[in-house]
Structures are given as structure tokens and as C-alpha cells.
Amino acid sequence: MNHLIPLFIAVPLGAAFFIPLVSRHVKWVPDVFGNLTMFSLAAMSFYTIGQSEVYHLGAWQTPIGIDLRLDGLSSLLLIAINVIGLAATLYSVAYMRIFTSKLRYYSLFLIMVTGMNGVVLTADLFNLYIFMEMAAIASYALVGFGCEHEELEASFKYLVLGSLATLFVLIGVALLYGMTGSLNMAQVATSMQSAAQAAQGTMAKPYIFALGLFICGFALKSALVPFHAWLPDAYQSAPAPISAMLSGVLTKTIGVYVLARLLFNVFGISQQLLLILQILGALSMVVGVLLAIGQWDMKRLFAYHSISQIGYVVLALGLGTPLGIIGGLYHLVNHSVFKSLLFLNAGAVEYSTGTRDLKRLGGLNQALPITGKTSLVASMSIAGIPPFNGFWSKLIIIIACVQAGYYWLAAWAVFVSLVTLASFLKVQKYAFLDAAKMALAKIQHTPFFMGLSMVVLAILCVVTSLAVLSGFDAPVLIAPAADVLIKGLITL
């Protein structure tokens, strides 16, 4: 048995409670310990590549005990979560000095990481709910960490909508348990399939109800367009590393990943479900990007782009073809890299100048060279300029659209990409290139750790684009993850 699997949950959990215990008197403990934990998790996550196995907790066999399941998709998400988490903690060493309590911050941060790792690894529907709620509650508290007007308002909005989503999910889990008598994903999938075969391929009504609840719940969590109201507020008000974590991995893990896992591996994908995913994705893409154009607050602008990019991922998954799924997962990873980099940039700008308003910024390229260059890399990635990762994943998605015969979706994706480019040209022009509108001499320099984590993420923007070297239809790491979804229902 591979003992790394439970450690992904145990290590951050233990660290989260060890930090408040020792660091009330020793000031440097939270920083060092938080970073060490995230570093070891990130290193561990690379050891999971290529492995797949079911881990029985407490050595109880499957119908009785709780299982953890590691496969290609989980290991891809684990790497994304822990690497982005490491970048965020490195960044927080310097950034979180402007807030009061680092101890609580790291504690909550590690609980959030625990929850996300658990969501990715669990093979049990109820534990999925528990870990999801764990990550979500920690993120509600972290969004409101500043305790000012805006933070509290955004946090309350996020809290109400998020809890509503988890209640929907809980009703769905209850219905599935009532119908199948099991909570293990593989067993639920098997017994649902046999029930569908007995009824000549039609799903019973409670299954359809549960499916609708799951789609509503996870669309709320991943902020797809009819359900996106909480996202811009939350991202705008949260501290920058938390915005990066929320946008980079949290919405993907507890939204898109779980949705894909349930639809493809538990319920079994069908044409109607693919259509729903396509509609949600296409709507999110265009509404997000159109709302983003008019924004002048940097973080809020990035937040709307987040909705639009998640739309790409969901649209690509909704194509249902192998190439589409590969493109979607590849874009998911790429987006988590460049969008967290963008949020960290916005945080660095705010840290140095005290404002995020694009109308008041300008000429920051001279004053903040690291932030300027890394944000250029990230902007080119998200807009899809060739050498960077965003280009390749968008290209794969567009090719997949054409191959699947959805020409108008391909045109739609190209259009959204162009609008994204325009919007990021605006950011670059107003914030970094234009003539300075404020006294540049007064600007604080970027601290070392903030610069370090931004440079690391900028390098990752290039490194992840190397994955396509092994072929468009089989990028490194992405192809085994896509295989899990392509194969359909999971078995014991």
C-alpha cells in the first residue's frame, strides 16, 4: 500500500493545529512551519505521478470502511493544489505582515489545503461532502480575514451561497444513498448502471433529481454563469494569496473536478449532460469576459476573467471527446498557474502603491520590474500568445471543438480569447506601461519572498507549455488524467 495517500490529508491537518499550539510565544514558527509543510506536500505530490490504487483506511475492506482513491486525475489535481499552495504560502511570508494574525491565517490556510486534498483523494460521497465543507468553511473565514466592510460583506455573501450549495449536495448524497444503499462511488456507479439496465436505459426520477441538485450545487461552487454572483466580491476582497488559492485551485477542486468526477465516473455521461455542460461553459465564457471589460479594479477584473476561463474548461469537458477532455484538463492546470500569478501581481501592486484602481496606477514597469515582467508573462498566457501555456490549451480546445463538429463553439472560443486579449492589453497599458500618475519614488519595493513566488509561477507558465511536446493528444501528466474520465464509470 502506498502510505503517501493518507499523509496528504494528515500532514496539513496536523500542521494546522500544531502551529497555534507552539507559536503563541515564538513569532517565526507560523511562517517557517507553514512553508515547510507546503513544500513537503508539493514534493510528495510529485511522487504520486503514474500511480493508481485504492487505500482502505484502517484496513477495513470496501463496503464497510472508507476508501481513498488515487488515480491519474487525482494526482494531477494534487500537484496543482500543492504547488500553487506553496507559491501562495511563500508569498504570504511578506504579504500577510499587513494583517494582524499570521497564526490564524496559516492555520486556516492549511485546513483549506487539507480539505482540498481530501476532496481530490476521497472515494466516498459523504466524505466528499465533509472535505468540501472543510475547505469551504476555511475559505469563508479567509475571505473575511481583513474584517473590514467589504471583506465581511463579501464573506457573508459567499458563506450563504456556498452553504446553500453544500446543502444541495447533501440532499443529492442522501437521495443517492437512499436509492443505492451505498456511499462508495464505485458501488454507487455499479448499482446505478444495473438499475438503468433493468429499466431499459432510462434513469429513475430520484437519480435525475439528485443529478440536478449536484449540478446546481457544484455550479454554485465553481461559479458558472447563472450562479456566479458571489465570485467577484469574494475574490476582490480576499487577501491576495487567498484570491490566488480560491481562483487557482479551490473553485476547480470543489467545483469543476467534483462535477467532472461525478458526471463522468459515477453517473455516466450522456448526450443531455454534455449539452448542459456546453451551455454552462459557453455562457460563462462570454458573460465573464464581457463583464470584465468594464472593470477598473484589478482584482475584480481578474475575477471576471476567472469565470470566463472556467467556462473554457467546462465547455471543453462538455465536448465529451478525448481531445476535448485533454484540452479542458490542460486548461484547468494552466489557468491555475497564470491566474494565481495574476492575483499575486495585483497583491504586489496593492502592497506597493496602496491601490488597485487602474485609473490611478501607471508606469509601474520602472518602479516594480519583477511585478511588471511576471504580469506580462501571465497576461500573455491568459490571452493566448504562442510561447506560453494558455495558447496551447486554448488551441487544443478549439481544435477539439472543430473535430467534434461544433464550429460555432470554436468561433465563440476564438472571440472570447480576442476579448480577453483586449482586456489584458488594457491592464498592461494602464498599470504598467502608461506614464506615471503617482509619485513613483514613494513606492515600496517588492519584498524578496513575494518576488520569488511570482518568478516561480512565471517560470511554471513556460514549463507547463512544454507538456505538449509529447503530442497534442497525449500531453505529459494530462493524458493519464484524461484517461480516467474517458474510461467512464469507475469500478471497485
Partner 1 sequence: MTGMSLIVKTVCRWLKGFILLFGVYIVLYGHLTPGGGFSGGVIIACAFILIFLAEGKLVETKIFSKNVAGELDSVGILIFWAAALTGLFCGGVYFKNFITTAAESHFKLFSSGIIPICNIGIGLKVGASLFVVFVILAAVKIVVPKKSDNINDHEEDEK
Partner 2 sequence: MIYSLCLILIGIGLYGILTKRNIVKIIIGFVIMEAGVHLLLILIGYRMQGEAPILQPGMKLSEFITRAVDPLPQALTLTSIVIGLGVLALMIAIAIRLYERYKTFDITEMRRLKG
Report the interface residues with partner 1, using CB under 8 A: 1, 3, 6-7, 10, 13-14, 17-18, 20-21, 24, 55-59, 66, 101, 104, 107-108, 111, 127, 130-131, 133-134, 137-138, 141, 144-145, 147
* Residue 214 binding target from partner 1, partner 2, none, CB below 5 to 8 Å by type: none
CB-CB contact of 282 with 341 (8 Å): no
Question: Distance between CA 457 and CA 229 in Å, rounded?
Answer: 28
User: What is the DSSP track for 78-127?
Assistant: HHHHHHHHHHHHHHHHHHGGGSS-HHHHHHHHHHHHHHHHHHHHB-BHHH
What whole-number distance in Å separates Cα of residue 322 and Cα of residue 474? 10
- Smallest distance from the beta carbon of 41 to partner 1, in angstroms? 16
Our CB check for partner 2 shows the closer of 225 and 481 to be: 225
Residue 13 binds: one of partner 1, partner 2, none (C-beta under 5 to 8 A by kind): partner 1
The minimum distance between CB 184 and partner 2, in angstroms, equals: 12
Q: Using alpha carbons only, what angle is made at residue 74 by residues 68 and 76, rounded to the nearest 5 degrees?
A: 155
Tell the smallest beta-carbon distance from residue 93 to partner 1 (Å): 20
Restricted to residues 120-159, the positions that interact with partner 2 (CB under 8 A) are 126, 129-130, 133, 137, 140-141, 144, 147-150, 152-156, 159
- Nearest approach in angstroms of CB 28 to partner 2 is 29
Q: Which does 24 bind (CB under 5 to 8 A by kind): partner 2, partner 1, none?
A: partner 1
**Closest approach of partner 2 to the CB of residue 280, in Å:** 21
**What is d(CA 177, CA 126) in angstroms, rounded to the nearest whole number?**
9
How many CA atoms does the CB half-sphere of 317 hold within 13 Å? 32
Among the listed residues 129, 119, 266, the one whose alpha carbon sits nearest the alpha carbon of residue 186? 266
Binding partner selected for residue 232 from partner 1, partner 2, none, CB under the kind-specific 5 to 8 Å limit:
partner 2
Residue 250 or 367: the one with the smaller Cβ distance to partner 1 is 250
What is the footprint of partner 2 within residues 267-306 (CB under 8 A)? 294-295, 297, 300
The item of partner 1, partner 2, none sharing an interface with residue 178, based on CB under 5 to 8 Å by kind, is partner 2
Q: Using CB under 8 A, which residues numbered 79 to 98 contact partner 2?
A: none
Q: How far is the CB of 110 from partner 1 (least distance, A)?
A: 11
- Find, among 485, 482, 469, 99, the residue nearest to 269 by Cα: 485
Report what 300 binds from partner 1, partner 2, none; CB cut-off 5-8 Å by kind: partner 2
Closer to partner 1 by CB, 138 or 325: give it: 138
Task: Quote the least distance from Cβ 22 to partner 1, whole Å.
Answer: 9
- Shortest distance (Å) from residue 56 CB to partner 2: 18
Residue 18 Cβ vs partner 2, minimum distance, rounded to whole Å: 20
How far apart (Å, rounded) are the C-alpha atoms in residues 395 and 382? 12
**Cβ closest to partner 1, residue 21 vs residue 492:** 21
Q: How far apart are CA 480 and CA 470, in angstroms?
A: 13
Helix, coil or strand: residue 124: strand
Out of partner 1, partner 2, none, what residue 101 binds, judged by CB under 5 to 8 A for its kind, is partner 1
* Nearer to partner 2 among residue 131 and residue 264 (C-beta): 131
Q: What is residue 65's three-state secondary structure? A: coil
What is the phi/psi pair of residue 124, to 5°?
-135, 130
CB of 467 to partner 1, least distance (A): 32
Residue number with CB closer to partner 2 (56 or 157) = 157
Whether the Cβ atoms of residue 155 and residue 140 lie closer than 8 Å to each other: yes
Residue 230: φ, ψ to 5°:
-80, -25
Q: Are 124 and 183 in contact (CB under 8 A)?
A: yes
Show contacts with partner 2 in window 171-190 (CB under 8 A). 171, 174, 177-178, 183
- Residue-wise DSSP of 391-447: HHHHHHHHHHHHHTT-HHHHHHHHHHHHHHHHHHHHHIIIIIISPP-S-GGGPPPPP
For position 226 contacting partner 2 by CB under 8 A, the verdict is no
Amino acid identity, residue 421? Answer: L
Tell me if 125 sits within 8 A of 173, measured CB to CB: yes
CA angle 67, 324, 403 (to 5 degrees): 150
Q: How many residues does the chain have?
A: 492
Contact 108, 143 (CB under 8 A): no
**Given candidates 190, 236, 371, 381, which one binds partner 2 under the rule CB under 8 A?**
236
Contacts to partner 2 by CB under 8 A? 126, 129-130, 133, 137, 140-141, 144, 147-150, 152-156, 159-160, 163-164, 167, 170-171, 174, 177-178, 183, 232-233, 236-237, 294-295, 297, 300
